[in-house]
Amino acid sequence: MTDDAVWMTDGTELTRAQLIAHAAPARKNVMSVQMRIDDLFVNGHEFGARCRLTTEHRKLGHLVIEWIMIGEVADDGRVRRIHQLGRTA
């Protein structure tokens, strides 16, 4: 991710620091995970994807989250901007 990356999830903006802080508790509570990209469209530095995340969570049990994501990458391939809309399947 670029230093100035913008990540919007369901209308909430997350900073790079917030995303990094989220990783440790997520790794602690998720026992297994599968990430699937169902559709991916790329146009230069811009992309769109339809994805599914399936997890076994210590507290929540079996959890499936689907989302649509659009974004942009920098010239070096790092994420510059993400907007995603998700739902629990």
Q: CA 16 to CA 10: how far, in whole Å?
A: 16
CB of 89 closer than 8 Å to CB of 15: no
Q: What is the pLDDT of residue 26?
A: 80
Span 6-88 CATH architecture: Roll (3.10)
Q: What is the pLDDT of residue 17?
A: 85
Q: CA 66 to CA 29: how far, in whole Å?
A: 19
Q: What is the pLDDT of residue 35?
A: 93
Spell out a b/e string for 68-87, using b for 16 or more CB atoms within 10 Å of the CB, else e. ebebbbeeeeebbbbbeeee
User: Could you read off the pLDDT of 18-77 as tens digits, one per residue?
Assistant: 888 888 888 888 899 999 999 999 999 999 999 999 999 998 899 999 999 999 999 999
Q: What is the pLDDT of residue 20?
A: 85
